[in-house]
């Protein structure tokens, strides 16, 4: 009986020793442990690359949009019946610019939210003179009487007032938000993020400016569920604003549908 037990113990010990030394299948186990991490890294790097590419294309689109408008000749050119821009021209420019986003989608999202929005605005800089007195308000000397308005000096006073003459948005589903023509744009420090109500102080000078505001909502192919888990949105919002000087105009580029303070403006 004791001999049988001894043999069983010896056999079990040998099996345990043999099992501890057996390294068959270790590579398969390690691969199984690392596979989820490897897949996550692969998908993550792919999504980041696609996101950076979408952001880059959006920046190129914004620059192209402002550049195409800034190149407009000063005379009357077809299909416009007056000098400057008209709706037909702007429709063609918006269409050409939006093609830059390919192969990324520019269609509206499932909930109707616009994926790509585009807005172009024409700004004129109007100079002014100061009245006597250290605290006197400044009186504007506008090129057109309809633009006259009071202005209170500030520490970031650029010597010009930036007036939005017109602001045009693309057709649905790529319609953005028009800039207001009711009030001048606010001079902002270069470190301040672009907004519909401000303009970098360093851009203030005589003449005019074309501003292109573009936004894009990038939807990751694999990461939508993660975004939905961390926030209510399934996309990453991007935006870019580009400023361009008109090539052939000494004043601001006019818009044929202009009326009152400006065309297609919110104010």
Distance CA 247, CA 250 (A): 8
- The model's confidence at residue 14, banded by pLDDT at 50, 70 and 90, is low
What pLDDT, on a 0 to 100 scale, did the predictor assign at position 116?
Answer: 93
Distance CA 175, CA 214 (A): 10
Instruction: Please check whether residue 253 lies inside any domain of the structure.
Output: no
The gap from C-alpha 42 to its chain's centroid, in whole angstroms, comes to 27
49 has pLDDT over 50: yes
Please tell me the total count of domains within the chain.
1
Model confidence, pTM: 0.74
Structure tokens at 6: 């001894």
Cβ neighbour number for residue 242 with a 10 Å cutoff: 21
Helix (H, G, I), strand (E, B) or coil at 40: helix
Higher pLDDT, 80 or 49: 49
Higher pLDDT, 256 or 151: 256
Instruction: Please check whether residue 28 lies inside any domain of the structure.
Output: no
Instruction: Please check whether residue 264 lies inside any domain of the structure.
Output: no
Instruction: Please check whether residue 2 lies inside any domain of the structure.
Output: no
Mean model confidence pLDDT for the chain: 77
Distance CA 239, CA 58 (A): 8
- The model's confidence at residue 135, banded by pLDDT at 50, 70 and 90, is very low
Calculate the alpha carbon distances from 27 to 21, 32, 34, 98, 128 in Å. Answer: 15, 9, 10, 50, 78
| 144-171 per-residue burial string, b: 16 or more CB within 10 A, e: under 16 | eeebeeeeeeeeebbebbbbbbbbbbbe
Instruction: Please check whether residue 6 lies inside any domain of the structure.
Output: no
Q: Which domain holds residue 129?
A: 33-244
């Amino acid at each position: 009986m004791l001999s049988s037990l001894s043999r069983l113990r010896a056999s079990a010990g040998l099996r345990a020793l043999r099992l501890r030394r057996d390294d068959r299948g270790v590579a398969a186990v390690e691969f199984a442990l690392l596979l989820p991490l490897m897949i996550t890294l692969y998908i993550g790097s792919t999504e980041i690359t696609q996101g950076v590419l979408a952001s880059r294309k959006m920046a190129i689109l914004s620059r192209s949009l402002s550049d195409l408008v800034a190149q407009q000749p000063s005379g009357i050119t077809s299909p416009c019946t007056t000098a400057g821009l008209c709706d037909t021209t702007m429709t063609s420019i918006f269409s050409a610019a939006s093609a830059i986003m390919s192969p990324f989608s520019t269609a509206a999202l499932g909930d109707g939210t616009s994926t790509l929005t585009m807005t172009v605005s024409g700004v004129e800089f109007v100079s002014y003179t100061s009245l006597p007195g250290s605290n006197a308000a400044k009186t504007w000397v506008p090129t057109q009487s309809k633009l006259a308005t009071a202005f209170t000096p500030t520490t970031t006073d650029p010597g010009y007032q930036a007036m939005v003459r017109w602001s045009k948005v693309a057709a649905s589903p790529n319609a953005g938000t028009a800039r207001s023509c009711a009030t001048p744009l606010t001079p902002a420090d270069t470190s301040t993020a672009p907004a519909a109500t401000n303009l970098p102080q360093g851009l203030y000078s005589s003449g005019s400016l074309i501003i292109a505001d573009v936004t894009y909502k990038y939807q990751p192919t694999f990461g939508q569920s993660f975004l939905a888990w961390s926030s209510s949105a399934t996309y990453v919002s991007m935006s870019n604003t580009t400023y361009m000087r008109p090539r052939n105009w000494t004043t601001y580029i006019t818009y044929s549908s202009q009326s009152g303070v400006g065309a297609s403006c919110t104010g």
